[in-house]
Amino acid sequence: MFNLARYFSTLSLILIGLAAGLLGLLYREVALHQLTVQGEDRNVAMAEVVKNALGGPLNGLLAAAVGQDGGQAAAAEESRQLAEGIETLLRGTAIVRIKVYNRLGVIVFSTDGAQVGEVRRENPGFKSALGDSINSSLTRSDYVDQFEGLRAGTDLLATYMPITVDGRGIEGVLEIYQDVGEFVASFERMQWMVTGVAIAIFALLYLLQFLVVRRAQGILREQSARLEATRNSLEIQVDARTTELRRANRQLKAEIAERQQAEHKLNYLAYHDPLTGLANRRYFVERLESSLRDAARHKHRLAVLFIDLDQFKQVNDSLGHGIGDELLVSVATGLTEHVRLIDMIARLGGDEFICVMESVRTDEEVAMLAREVIAAFDEPFRISGHDLFLSASIGISVFPQDGASVQDLLRNADTAMYRAKAMGRGNFHFYTPEMTREAQERIRLETHLRKAMDNGEFSVHLQPQVEADTGNLVGAEALVRWHSPELGDVSPARFIPVAEESGLIVGLGAWVLRESCRQLMRWGEGGFDLPHVSVNLSVKQLERPEFIDLLQAIITETGIDPGRLKLEITESVVMAVEDPFALLVNLRALGVSLALDDFGTGYSSLSYLKALPVQQLKIDRSFVMGIGSNAEDEAIIRSVMALASSLDFEVVAEGVETADQARFLKSVGCHQFQGWLHGRAVAPAEFRERWARLR
């Protein structure tokens, strides 16, 4: 058994010896420092006494010693006067020697005349004093020549102090030796006493600790004996338990395998989309970050393709989420099976997919991949007895020119996807820096647009609609205009799309509708009767379930005859609204008229038109512009007129700017004209002034 008492006694003796020695050294250093400080203070005080009493001879000696050797300095009258004065002042004190150095380190005065003329410029104390510092040191001297005579073996404290003369700076150094023998002897006696007391205290502590450790050694022996007995008993129990554990080990292995399987499943779910089995956003981001590091290291290009399904929302809303989920699974399967160039594909969420193409050499390779993705949607998806047709819009960003991080590449690919979607379904588009600038401009425009309603920056202008045969005013279209204090006049082509995307068009459209009705009623009260006013409606307005109630409230509030209000709706807006026929029937039930705007650019089928409760068609300006130069546009206009005639629709041609256009339209039976030929859209005051004068 380990002998704790023997180990402790040896180690304690060593530590006590070290502690006693360190304490002794520490005490000696502290005491000597205190002795030096006190002695230095006495030397400084005595130096001041000498300077005050003998300043004249001292300054004179320093001045006279310039350029003289030691013998000349010793023979100087100032040296004799200084010697007599110092002996008178210092006899009976502890000061045993005084030296005076000039700036060159030459001793020009000393109470020991044999030292005059010696050069001590390298003396550390002299250097320190010459640098305007006081320096002291403790030395032991075998013999000292005191004022009272020769004295053997004493301790001296030498202090070097600068001598300044009349503000001219340091002219010399004064060295004073003080007899500190009595103080040193007292210190040594005290040191022996402190050392003895410390040793006695440490010895007592050692004895007490030794007794405690020896008792602990006995306790440990007793415990060791008990532990040995316990160990023997435990060995018997362990043998019995080992057999039981072997049986449990087999069961534990089965549990571990089951747990590992569960961990693998959790890990799979953490990195994969649970619906399609594709990589999820987390896995995609981590994988793309790794691919970007490799591409940067090897100076390769890398492409990110953001895929958005064009008609998925309609399928999900009309057939239910169950069919929508099955469709997403089929899309994921189609992309993984039929697109060969994809290095990784993931589902970000909803109907958004994203894929990566690594080691890209040319943009044409990326375009080929995009075309493969679009081609994967050529065939319909057969889901629960439904043939579902989808298309995809794809935005492409390329590393490194379009971004160096995952976030930049995703954002820019998303931006490019929206540009592709704006081009029409089933298209792809590469990202360009202009897209970011356009997005920033859109955000800036939207910010100003949100404040414009509250600040009253919008106004309603009106463009006349005239009868084709007579040129008489039959109505006007209300067009919103925006004058911003910061942006100036903003074109509707700029702010209307932003208002549509942001949803601000709902409030703006309601304001235009109300303001147009109010203007019509104000004119009527003033004696100017406009037959009707046309107002464009947005799909965002028609999607609101409360729109019918809002329209009824505006009619009631303004007092307008519903028959004088015409609502213009484009074919694309009608088709974007759920159950458009019921909506238009409800609008007609209020008594308002309905016009199909931009006719000829959408569906324009006879079966479709005859079911719509509209009274007027508006030929799009793009066809009118081709009159006289494009036979196809003229043919389309003739077809529209024939269709309108068969359905008994009134026809208005937009964008009529020339007399030739007006003659052609009149010849094919067009009823009304709208365009610059008969007037631009102007403010209400200007509109009334012109048309009231012509009536």
What local confidence, expressed as pLDDT, does residue 476 receive?
96
User: Which two structure tokens, joined as six digits, stand for 481?
Assistant: 């205009």
Residues 10 and 138 in one domain: yes
Q: Is 447 exposed, middle or buried (0-12, 13-18, 19+ CB in 10 A)?
A: exposed
What local confidence, expressed as pLDDT, does residue 154 receive?
74
Q: CB of 74 within 8 A of CB of 117?
A: yes
What local confidence, expressed as pLDDT, does residue 318 receive?
72
Residues 425 and 510 in one domain: no
Please name every residue paired with 151 in a beta bridge, in sequence order, or none if there are none. Answer: 144
Residues 647 and 537 in one domain: yes
User: Backbone phi, then psi, for 487, in 5-degree steps?
Assistant: -100, -10
Query: Which residues, 6 or more positions from 439, have their beta carbon under 8 angstroms from its beta carbon?
Result: 415
The percentage of residues in the chain with a pLDDT greater than 90, rounded to a whole number, is: 34
What CATH number is given to the structural domain containing 626? 3.20.20.450
* Residue 559 lies inside a defined structural domain of this protein: yes
Q: CB of 344 within 8 A of CB of 287?
A: yes
Q: How many domains does the chain have?
A: 3
Residues 298 and 153 in one domain: no
Whole-number Cα distances in Å, 64 to 74, 84, 207: 11, 18, 72
Q: Tell me the HSE value of 3 on the side-chain side, using a 13 A CA sphere.
A: 6
Residues 176 and 311 in one domain: no
What's the gap between Cα 579 and its chain centre? 46
Residues 535 and 632 in one domain: yes
The pLDDT tens digits of the residues spanning 591-604 come to: 999 998 877 665 55
**The dihedral sign for the CA sequence 584, 587, 588, 593:** negative
User: Highest-confidence range of 268-282, 440-454, 515-529, by mean pLDDT?
Assistant: 515-529
* Residue 622 lies inside a defined structural domain of this protein: yes
The pLDDT confidence band at residue 112, using thresholds 50, 70 and 90, is: confident
Range of the domain at 629: 502-679
Residues 380 and 510 in one domain: no
What CATH number is given to the structural domain containing 39? 3.30.450.20
What local confidence, expressed as pLDDT, does residue 303 receive?
94
Residue with the two structure tokens 């998925």: 312
* Residue 63 lies inside a defined structural domain of this protein: yes
Residues 417 and 506 in one domain: no
What local confidence, expressed as pLDDT, does residue 336 receive?
85
User: Which two structure tokens, joined as six digits, stand for 621?
Assistant: 């300006």
Query: Which residues, 6 or more positions from 611, have their beta carbon under 8 angstroms from its beta carbon?
Result: 581
203 or 359, higher pLDDT: 359
* Residue 404 lies inside a defined structural domain of this protein: yes
* Residue 257 lies inside a defined structural domain of this protein: no
Out of 380, 399, 431, pick the residue that ends a domain: 431
Query: How many Cβ atoms are within 10 Å of 508's Cβ, its own excluded?
Result: 23
Out of 385, 412, 431, pick the residue that ends a domain: 431
What CATH number is given to the structural domain containing 295? 3.30.70.270
Q: What are the DSSP calls for 34-48, one per residue? A: HHHHHHHHHHHHHHH
The percentage of residues in the chain with a pLDDT greater than 70, rounded to a whole number, is: 91
Q: What are the DSSP calls for 536-585, one per residue? A: E--HHHHHSTTHHHHHHHHHHHHT--GGGEEEEEEHHHHHHSSSHHHHHH
Residue with the two structure tokens 């008594």: 591
Task: Please give the model's pTM, rounded to 2 decimal places.
Answer: 0.52
* Residue 22 lies inside a defined structural domain of this protein: yes
Amino acid at 208: L
85 or 536, higher pLDDT: 536
Residues 20 and 158 in one domain: yes
Residues 10 and 117 in one domain: yes
Residues 554 and 405 in one domain: no
The pLDDT confidence band at residue 607, using thresholds 50, 70 and 90, is: low
* Residue 219 lies inside a defined structural domain of this protein: no
* Residue 508 lies inside a defined structural domain of this protein: yes
What's the gap between Cα 280 and its chain centre? 24
Amino acid at 471: G
pLDDT at 420 over 70: yes
Q: Tell me the HSE value of 244 on the side-chain side, using a 13 A CA sphere.
A: 5
**The dihedral sign for the CA sequence 455, 458, 460, 461:** positive
Residues 508 and 389 in one domain: no
- β-strands 428-430, 458-467 pairing: unpaired
Tell me if residue 216 falls in helix, strand or coil.
helix
Out of 185, 202, 231, pick the residue that ends a domain: 185
User: Backbone phi, then psi, for 108, in 5-degree steps?
Assistant: -100, -10
Whole-number Cα distances in Å, 487 to 442, 484, 490, 546, 623: 13, 5, 7, 33, 33
